[in-house]
Amino acid sequence: MARRWTNTLTAADVTPKATFLNRRQIMAGLGGAAGLAGLGALPQAAQAQELEPNSWEDVTTYCNYYEFGTGKGDPAKYAGQLTTSPWSVKIDGLVDRPGDYDFQQILGEMTLEERIYRFRCVEAWSMVVPWTGFELADLLNLAGVQSGAKYVAFETLYRPSEMPGTAYQVLDWPYREGLRLDEAMHPLTLMATGIFGQDLPNQNGAPLRLVVPWKYGFKSIKSIVRITLTDKEPETSWNMANAREYGFYSNVNPEVSHPRWSQASERRLGGGLFASRQDTLMFNGYSDEVASLYDGMDLTKFF
Ligand code: MTE
């Protein structure tokens, strides 16, 4: 498998590859002069070095995972009973090598570099999480994306015997999400398998979940069992539940209000009720990397 991440920086690596690499070195404390030299190229979100990650406690006890209940504390209480091994992911649709891919086998194929990101994941709150994982693109390339594919659809496990929340039709199960193919292939789009250098806890989507750092949190579908390459925009759970409030794209955009609240500012989770609000950044601070994906699109229409 081709490695798109290298350990040597050259002038040709300016951005975005060097950006990520520098960030990784800085975060891992290996940066020194080499890492800091590239600081000017870092996206705003990554430049905010003072951005400390949230605590393990915050990240693992204040969760959204409706299959285990709609309360923020429900996933931590009930997801422990989920069986996550063995685990396989069906990859089908417009791919050359469809099939059931065993999770351990996937890990063996991937260039798992303990890559550490500090993503700000914004929804009604924001969190800074050091994720580990691999690029979704690497997994899609393993299956061989066919030229007709335009979108990627994802599905979460639906196992009522272990998921008490699925007894309630708050969403149409299984939980579904989707990306356009170019979004899915972007190097910032992560298949997360861990946080803080440890395996993902069940409540955060073990054994593998999506992380799309420039989109709202609900795009980060957990405990994925199926990935389908398709030529049609896939249905997504929140859009099916309320199309007026949740669009397919779900890009972090301070200029487009949710029908019931402004999205222009955010408060870091864990900062306490009186923590100061900060301005939300376009594409969550990753404009330099991803804005071009949406050139010419009316983002008030494609929200
Ligand atoms: N994935 C599944 N399967 N079910 C869910 O209810 N909630 C989403 C997303 N992924 C959800 C899901 C929402 S609304 C958010 S904000 C994030 O997971 C929260 O991720 P975290 O709990 O790890 O912070």
The enclosing domain of 272 has a CATH number of 3.90.420.10
Q: Which of 113, 130, 155, 120 is nearest to 21 (CA)?
A: 113
Residue 118 structural domain: 11-294
Measured between alpha carbons, how far is 212 from 188 in angstroms, rounded to an integer? 7
Q: Has residue 18 been placed in a domain?
A: yes
Within a domain: 119: yes
Tell me whether residue 301 is in a domain: no
Is residue 300 in a domain?
A: no
**Structural domain includes residue 302:** no
Q: What dihedral angle (degrees, nearest 10) is formed by the CA atoms of 99, 102, 108, 114?
A: 110
> What was the pLDDT predicted at 51?
66
Residues with CB under 6 Å of ligand 1 are 63-67, 123, 156, 175, 204, 217-218, 220-223
Question: What is residue 129's predicted lDDT score, i.e. its pLDDT?
Answer: 86
Q: Is residue 4 in some structural domain?
A: no
Q: How far apart are CA 162 and CA 78, in angstroms?
A: 9
Is position 37 within any domain? yes
Rounded distance from Cα 214 to ligand 1 centre (Å): 15
- Number of domains into which the chain is organized: 1
Residue at 248 is within a domain: yes
- Residue 270 Cα to ligand 1 middle (Å): 18
Distance, in Å, from the CA atom of 239 to the CA atom of 121, rounded to the nearest integer, reads 19
pLDDT of residue 197: 83
CB 201 within 8 A of CB 195: yes
Spans of the chain below 70 pLDDT: 1-51, 113-115, 121-125, 271-274
* Site to substitute for ligand 1 among 55, 60, 65, most atoms within 8 A of C-beta: 65
pTM for the full predicted model = 0.85
| Atom of ligand 1 at shortest range from CA of 222 | 1
Question: What spacing in Å lies between the alpha carbon of 5 and ligand 1's midpoint?
Answer: 28
- Give residue 190's Cα distance to chain centre: 6
